[in-house]
A and B are shown apart, each in its own frame.
Chain A
Amino acid sequence: MAERSIWSSGVTLAVIAAICASLVALTWQLTAERIEANEKEWLARSLQPALAGLFFDSPVTESMITITAPHDLPGTEDAIIYRVYSGEDPVAALFIVSARDGYAGPIRFLVGIAMDGTVTGVRVLQHRETPGMGDRIETHKSDWVLQFDGLSLRDPEPRYWAIKGDGGQFDQLTGASVTPRAIIKAIRVTLAYFEVNRDAIFAAPAEVQE
């Protein structure tokens, strides 16, 4: 008797789980394309500010290359790099990387790096940090990410690329130190990667985008 009821409960659970899973799958199927389009539009809108003060005349989104994981950039997923040109001359590279050690999952963000290795802008694209604390990495909530503009691995030296609490030179966010720590580390790693791989990045052929 008891055995039968366990079986029938199991079957009910399995059936309901299957129904729920197909519901989610169906919704995903219907929305995936739109979500991707939204992401792209959002991207085009948000790439711009990370290149402040640079002159360039190429459409940024057409010069994409993907660095397949595993790589030396932050994050475990594939990293994306957009190359920015003025005429034929490379001007800067835009990295989309994710800081894995955010407070609530990975933080995907944009780092623009000029040819001389200075940061041209940092913008957070996607995160799940606590509202009111870690979410001040967004530019419309605070100026925190703007402090990296114009800095490089020579100014300050790599060991000062840390929050003040860890002996570095950057402000932390009140009530949130995990988030800034993750971002600062990811920027530092990206800068180092750029220094080593700069020529290879600009030599790679652009990927065709649909």
Chain B
Amino acid sequence: MAAGLIDRFKTGLWRENPGLVQLLGLCPLLAVTGSFVNGLGLGLATLAVMMASNALVSATRRWIQPEIRVPIYVLIIASLVTCIELIFKAFFPDLDRALGIFIPLIVTNCAIVARAEVFASRNSVVTSIIDGLVMGSGFALLLMVIGAFRELIGQGSLFARMDMLFGGEPVRGLVLVENGWLLLVLPPGAFFSLALAIAAKNAIDRRRKDARRPLPRRARSLNR
């Protein structure tokens, strides 16, 4: 069980990471990752929605006729997102203001519908919740990594405005340099950062594969 769980996490965080490999939910991923705290906030919200929607979809899977499953997924996900939005407004008002429209837009994150359709509609409630946790973490982690990268290069700081999530006075975070390379904070920077992340993942995967199966040089080049 524990080994299986670790394997599931490896799948969600790495092998089938919703953002890096399945390339789902790119709209929020590209739009809000201007800073680490934004990435973390939206990542947590998406994670919560994903776990809850997987749980509900799985719990109701026996009563739902296949013809109406998609409207039901939409209904479930939309209500959950509305709940999350209210909770954000109540407990993290500043973060809610910073993320703005992208909290309600979690509804349109195809990663969530994809997990409902591919996994939760065919598995038990507990495994579906775990799947939501794993896939949601993969997505949230990617948001945080890209958010941290863009904030670091784009603004020269890290973990600024963490008070939006944890309360207290506004904090500037770790300021390394006063001004960064603005391009990274602007929308094109999001594409560059995602591309770099995907390239890095593929490079690591390839290196690992090569290390595992050492082939003679000529054979290896043919193998590509």
- Structural contact, A28 and B86, CB atoms closer than 8 A: yes
Does any Cβ of A come within 8 Å of B173's Cβ? no
- Structural contact, A38 and B79, CB atoms closer than 8 A: no
Cβ-defined partner of B90 (8 Å) among A12, A35, A42, A132: A35
Q: List, in ascending order, chain B residues with CB within 8 A of A128's CB.
A: 100-101
What is the CA–CA distance of A20 and B56 in the complex, to the nearest angstrom? 10
Q: Mark A38-75, 1 if CB is under 8 A from B, else 0.
A: 11001000000000000000000000000000000000
Cβ-defined partner of B68 (8 Å) among A9, A28, A31: A9
- Structural contact, B76 and A20, CB atoms closer than 8 A: yes
Cβ-defined partner of A35 (8 Å) among B82, B86, B101, B102: B86
Does any Cβ of B come within 8 Å of A197's Cβ? no
Total number of A residues with any Cβ neighbor in B under 8 Å: 28
- Structural contact, A13 and B72, CB atoms closer than 8 A: yes
Does any Cβ of A come within 8 Å of B23's Cβ? no
Does any Cβ of A come within 8 Å of B67's Cβ? yes
- Structural contact, B79 and A5, CB atoms closer than 8 A: no
- Determine the residue in chain A with the shortest Cβ distance to B76: A20
- Structural contact, B75 and A34, CB atoms closer than 8 A: no
Q: List, in ascending order, chain A residues with CB within 8 A of B75's CB.
A: 13, 16-17, 20
- Determine the residue in chain A with the shortest Cβ distance to B79: A20
What is the CA–CA distance of A31 and B187 in the complex, to the nearest angstrom? 34
Cβ-defined partner of A27 (8 Å) among B31, B68, B83: B83
Q: List, in ascending order, chain A residues with CB within 8 A of B89's CB.
A: 31, 35, 38
Q: List, in ascending order, chain A residues with CB within 8 A of B72's CB.
A: 12-13, 16
Q: In angstroms, how far is the closest chain B Cβ from the Cβ of A137?
A: 12
Q: List, in ascending order, chain B residues with CB within 8 A of A21's CB.
A: 79
Q: In angstroms, how far is the closest chain A Cβ from the Cβ of B39?
A: 13
What is the CA–CA distance of A5 and B66 in the complex, to the nearest angstrom? 11
24 A-B pairs in the complex with CB atoms less than 8 angstroms apart? A5-B67, A9-B67, A12-B63, A12-B64, A12-B72, A13-B71, A13-B72, A16-B72, A16-B75, A20-B79, A24-B79, A24-B82, A24-B86, A27-B86, A31-B90, A35-B89, A35-B93, A38-B89, A104-B101, A126-B97, A128-B101, A129-B100, A131-B32, A131-B34
Sorted nearest first, the 9 A-B pairs with minimum C-beta distance are A20-B79, A31-B90, A34-B90, A27-B83, A38-B93, A31-B86, A128-B101, A9-B68, A35-B89
Which residues of B come within 8 Å of A, CB atoms? Answer: 31-32, 34, 60, 63-65, 67-68, 71-72, 75-76, 78-80, 82-83, 86-87, 89-91, 93, 97, 100-102, 186-187
Task: List 17 extra interface pairs beyond A12-B63, A13-B75, CB under 8 A.
Answer: A5-B67, A12-B65, A13-B71, A16-B75, A16-B76, A20-B76, A24-B83, A27-B87, A31-B89, A34-B91, A35-B90, A35-B93, A42-B93, A126-B97, A128-B100, A131-B32, A132-B34
